[in-house]
Amino acid sequence: MVDEHVKLVPIANVGRIMKQILPPTAKISKEAKETMQECASEFISFVTGEASDKCHKENRRTVNGDDICWALSSLGFDNYAEVMLRYLYKLRDFERQKANQNKGSNDEEDTDDEEVPSECEKQESATTSSAPLEFNVMERGCKLSFS
């Protein structure tokens, strides 16, 4: 049996995210961090379990970002699914551009190997730019930055 603390999101990460949202002078109790740690870990497990079930039914062994977005939507978290879908597209676009830059600097003559966009990317291509990898998590304007 796996120890319970092994399944939890690292508390330092939880505290860091909580501090980003609060004013600089605010204090966060250990109990508040632990409660948020448990809630975040449970939420992640809930969504990942749903995505994993979908992959199992489709005889796939790898859960990808599109599966997580689908799970969020199917569990009623449509607002989060939309935001995550946009982020996923931006991340893939950023990684593709970075790979093309590296490829261009290493191999100037071979440019025929373009990736075919996924369904997620096709849906978002008209409304998304490859700007910074940031998105609003809540309607209050809280931002998380991924780099």
- Domains in the chain: ranges and CATH: 1-63 (1.10.20.10), 65-147 (no CATH)
Give pLDDT, residue 105.
77
The answer to whether residue 41 scores a pLDDT higher than 90 is yes
Give pLDDT, residue 6.
61
DSSP, collapsed to helix, strand or coil, labels residue 94 as helix
Residue type (1 letter), 94: F
CA angle 132, 18, 14 (to 5 degrees): 90
The answer to whether residue 62 scores a pLDDT higher than 70 is yes
The answer to whether residue 27 scores a pLDDT higher than 60 is yes
First to last CA, the chain: 34
> Which distant-in-sequence residues (6+ apart) come within 8 Å of 104 by Cβ?
111
Rounded Cα gap, residues 45 and 39, in angstroms: 10
- Of 35-39, 72-76, 126-130, give the lowest mean pLDDT range: 126-130
Using 50, 70 and 90 to split pLDDT, how confident is the model at 74? Answer: very high
Rounded Cα gap, residues 15 and 30, in angstroms: 9
State the average pLDDT over residues 36-53.
Answer: 95
Using 50, 70 and 90 to split pLDDT, how confident is the model at 21? Answer: very high
Give pLDDT, residue 4.
55
What pTM was computed for the model?
Answer: 0.64
> Which distant-in-sequence residues (6+ apart) come within 8 Å of 123 by Cβ?
85
> Which distant-in-sequence residues (6+ apart) come within 8 Å of 112 by Cβ?
none
Please say whether the beta carbons of 2 and 25 come within 8 A.
no
